[in-house]
Amino acid sequence: MLPYLNQIEWIHNLTIIMSKYFNRPYKNNQKESIISRIIKGKIYKVFRFNHGIIFSMRQALLAINIINLFGNNFNEIYFETYDINFKKFLKWIKFKINNDPYFKHKVMFTSAFQRSGRESEISSSSNPILYNRYEKKDTYFFEYEAKKYINILFKDSNEILIYKEAILWSTMNDGILDERCCDDLYYLRRILHAAHLLDLRRILLK
């Protein structure tokens, strides 16, 4: 049994897991990856100002907020008023909540690893090859940690693979699974992507 059934305790546990990935400075310290601030006459440099440990935890919580929104606030009796694809999504998310006691824990765990592999603040438009390499590294870090929870949080290596590939939503990183044949991958990928897009607080205002 998972020792962290309470979500607050699980977030605390996640913070410890993620700290070694998000508290380290970037290896590629380009100008755009460093921000300086003067506080009481002293210069402080921040090396992960858009994608630090707080970003990681917000990703975990935003993903759960999305699940709670659609899992708790849309009643099946109103399904006929929704688009057919949205109906499928609602049925899927309700099924996962009702049949997998660790579903939310797994989503939080996976979402927290988004951008853990970054080594600079380059964007997908400025350097797509490097950006996609960072995204691949997110999945390596996730898999390494997820394997410690096999048969505890994740059922088996196949489930880990699905959650791992849900992190890959850049067009150049398709992975080995086909989301058109795997509802879990299709919907998980969109939940994680939505959580990332909703986190506008990470964007530095110049």
79-112 pLDDT, tens digit per residue, is 566 678 888 898 899 999 999 989 999 999 999 9
Average pLDDT of the chain?
86
Dihedral (CA of 194, 196, 202, 206) sign: negative
Collapsing DSSP to helix, strand or coil, 17 comes out as: helix
Contact present, 59 and 111 (Cβ < 8 Å)? yes
Contact present, 171 and 146 (Cβ < 8 Å)? no
For residue range 48-82, what is the model confidence (pLDDT) as tens digits? 777 888 889 999 999 999 999 988 876 655 656 66
What pLDDT was estimated at residue 111?
97
Confidence of residue 186 (pLDDT cuts 50, 70, 90): very high
Instruction: Answer whether residue 98 is part of any domain.
Output: yes
Instruction: Answer whether residue 2 is part of any domain.
Output: no
Confidence of residue 115 (pLDDT cuts 50, 70, 90): very high
Instruction: Answer whether residue 11 is part of any domain.
Output: yes
Output the CA angle 135-140-144, nearest 5 degrees: 150
Instruction: Answer whether residue 52 is part of any domain.
Output: yes
The number of domains in the chain is 1
Domain that includes residue 68, residue range: 7-202
Tokens of 193: 């992507």
The mean per-residue pLDDT over the stretch 175-184 comes to 90
Instruction: Answer whether residue 12 is part of any domain.
Output: yes
Annotate 129-178 with DSSP letters as a single string.
Answer: HHHHHHHHHHHHHHHHHHGGGBTTTBSSHHHHHHHHHHT--STT---SS-
Instruction: Answer whether residue 1 is part of any domain.
Output: no
- CA–CA distance, 52 with 49 (Å, rounded to integer): 6
